[in-house]
Structure 1
Amino acid sequence: MTTLEEAVRLFKPLDPSLMKQRLARPGAMPRVIIDTDTANEIDDQYAVAWALLSQDRMRLEGVTAAPFSFTHHREGLYQAVAALQSGAESNHDSKFVGPFAGWAKRLLADGRTADDIEFVTADVGEQRSYEEILRVFDACGEDATGKVFRGSPRHLPSYDEPVESDAARFIIDQARKRDDGPVYILAMGALPTIGSALLMAPDIIDNIVVVWTSGFPSYAPFSNEPSLNLVQDRLSSRLLFECGVPHVYLPGYHVGAQLTISHPEMEKFVNGRGDIGDYLWDLYTNNPLHKKYAISDHETKTWVIWDIINVAWLLNDAYVPTYLTTSPHLNEDLYWQGDASRHMMLEAYDVARDAIFEDFYDTLKRAPRK
């Protein structure tokens, strides 16, 4: 079986001058592909809608469906619920309750158990993402014909087995249109489709820029296992940092996490702004993750709209400040290992939260209604 180190040998390192060029600000009307696990929660819909309504600022080539799955949470949640039911918490035996304690407590208080939670597999997640992308296109008054592509139905099984999909082939085809300039892939989920495209066509790294949101900053001392985008497909996540593809890394924790929106803001600035505004309002006020995680008092709580950070970075350099650094190693336990001798990477360290949402709200003003 091919190791990561062996897989990396497939890729020809980019000349440092070309790497700096790719990591510079995009030119006018950059070519864009969005790779999104749109049905995972409610944030991707905002990002896709913002992009669809901003095609005077980008050339949106297509949107590809990414898979998602929470099956890796199942065992931990079952253990936490069982521990609480057996009285472990009252005995302060926290090791048996674990990181899922809060979720388990809320479920039990709501009269439910882990059996009431749906844990979809990756193929089901990809199917739902595809269907959700089509709904967002429709709500934005956009024709999805030839623009939306089915992605990988599973996470990368090994570096010997890239997963065939329409989306992976679409990415390769767009990347090989070198006369049209680089294509920016706004990656908003796990990476099996992008990882597969890279393994099937290592030559494309000279004409794509992967803009990915996930995990902790590359200098953080924590394991990135809590990051859903990163942990689901460990092989593709590690490949991204090793293969030398130009990469804009947008940490979710501490950076994208600042992109919260409140119920009053949704009601005033989103609800009623075209069909898509109504749809986003409905998603916000009927958030499926509120039920899943047994979150109550919804109107008093904000929600993180993580994935608009990708679109924000593309649209305005002031929205997402970045700095040049070297790509870290991501080890098997998903900890960062810095190495100053490595190829360059662009990394975000903050967001201009208010400016980002003001742009989003202004863009919604031109949303159509049927």
Structure 2
Amino acid sequence: MIYDKYSFKIPEGMGIRVITDTDAKNEADDQYCIVHTLLSPRFDNVGMIAAHFGDKRSKTSMEDSYQEVVKIFDLMKFEKSIIRKGATKCLPDMQTPVQSEGAKLIIEEAMKDDEKPLFVTFLGPLTDLASAYLIEPRIADRLTCIWIGGGVYPTGGPEYNLSNDINAANVVFNSTIPLWQVPRDVYHQMIVSITELEEKVAPYGEIGKYLYEQLIEAAHKAWAKKPPRTGEVWSLGDSPVVGLMLWDHMHDFDWIPAPNATEDMYYVHKLNNRPIRVYKRINSRFILEDFFSKIKKFAMQ
């Protein structure tokens, strides 16, 4: 699925296939990333997988994410055939996959004979990728994973996406799957003011109105629990995956031997392990302005 209703065209050979794995009902930022992904003409969107986000906030978290993805597609009037359900729970250990439509899709798409590179982005836990890899290890050199998750390097520490499947993260760390990791301190750089969202998102169609209103609702719930927050800003922490697929920020990452994550989510560094790409900063303005332009053009068609 390619949305390309722009005056410019993507040059031959520069398109990529994209699968998005999203815990969409966990918070309010996944929705922005999903819409941005769907409106980017470089991306041939071949899958949108609903991910679980543990069972502390909801006992049906994957199904909640699935219904949220469906709602976004309905608001945009997009055909829903690429939506899949992911795992309902985390891996029980590092050897046992959790079967799901999402894991099956990742395997099928990775094993296709297609000239377009495959990127699989994870806005929550890595359960579906780890499961796909355990089922079919040959996918390892046939895709690139971009993951929003993990604590600050070099020490690590508690981080929400990692907490929802530590076993899956360790499966991926110890695989040979190309991994671009966007850790907590970097995805928090995606700061935007509520006023800017009111001006540049809310007026633009049903989807713009929904994106803004659902964020305001989520934000007020969060602010009530954490009074030190200012009440005027939010972090669209999942959106870096779109920016990195549009422009990989070639000077903004380090190659670091893949660590292991302990039960309390600290990194154990293995100097002889394969290197992964760990981002240390992203260009939030580039990512935000691209999104603002695309949602405006989409609404005005």
The alignment's TM-score, normalised by the length of structure 1, stands at: 0.73
Question: CA 1:299/1:216 → structure 2, altered by over 3 Å: closer, same or farther?
Answer: closer
One-letter amino acid matched to 2:101: D
Q: For residue 69 of structure 1, what is the aligned residue in structure 2?
A: 54
* Distance apart, 1:237 and its partner CA: 1.2
Distance 2:242 2:100 in 1: 24
What is the root-mean-square deviation of aligned Cα atoms in Å?
2.3
CA contact (8 A) 1:319 1:352 kept: no
CA contact (8 A) 1:64 1:149 kept: yes
Distance 2:153 2:228 in 1: 35
Distance 1:218 1:291 in 2: 26
Matched, 1:190 2:125: yes
One-letter amino acid matched to 1:133: V
Identity %: 28
Matched, 1:248 2:233: no
Matched, 1:346 2:277: yes
Correspondence list, 1:55-134, <5 A:
56-69=41-54, 71=56, 119-121=57-59, 124-134=60-70
Q: How many residues align?
A: 289
Q: For residue 17 of structure 2, what is the aligned residue in structure 1?
A: 31
Q: For residue 337 of structure 1, what is the aligned residue in structure 2?
A: 268
Distance 1:197 1:46 in 2: 26
State the SS of the aligned residue for 2:21: strand
Match of 1:162 among 66, 88, 97: 97
CA contact (8 A) 2:16 2:119 kept: yes
Question: CA 1:354/1:369 → structure 2, altered by over 3 Å: closer, same or farther?
Answer: closer
Match of 2:153 among 218, 237, 255: 218
Matched, 1:273 2:204: yes
Structure 1 runs (4+) deviating above 3 angstroms are 178-182, 291-300
Match of 2:287 among 336, 340, 356: 356
The alignment's TM-score, normalised by the length of structure 2, stands at: 0.89
Question: CA 1:320/1:214 → structure 2, altered by over 3 Å: closer, same or farther?
Answer: farther
Q: For residue 82 of structure 2, what is the aligned residue in structure 1?
A: 147
Correspondence list, 1:162-181, <5 A:
162-181=97-116
Q: For residue 139 of structure 2, what is the aligned residue in structure 1?
A: 204
Larger Rg: 1
Question: CA 1:326/1:297 → structure 2, altered by over 3 Å: closer, same or farther?
Answer: closer
Higher relative contact order structure (alpha carbons within 8 Å, sequence separation ≥ 6):
1
Q: For structure 1, which segment, 163-172 or 178-187, has the greater mean C-alpha deviation from structure 2 after superposition?
A: 178-187
One-letter amino acid matched to 2:46: E
Specify every segment of 5 or more residues in structure 2 that has no aligned partner in the other structure, as ranges: 1-12
CA contact (8 A) 2:94 2:170 kept: no
Distance 1:70 1:228 in 2: 13
State the SS of the aligned residue for 1:248: strand
Distance 1:169 1:356 in 2: 31
Matched, 1:313 2:251: no
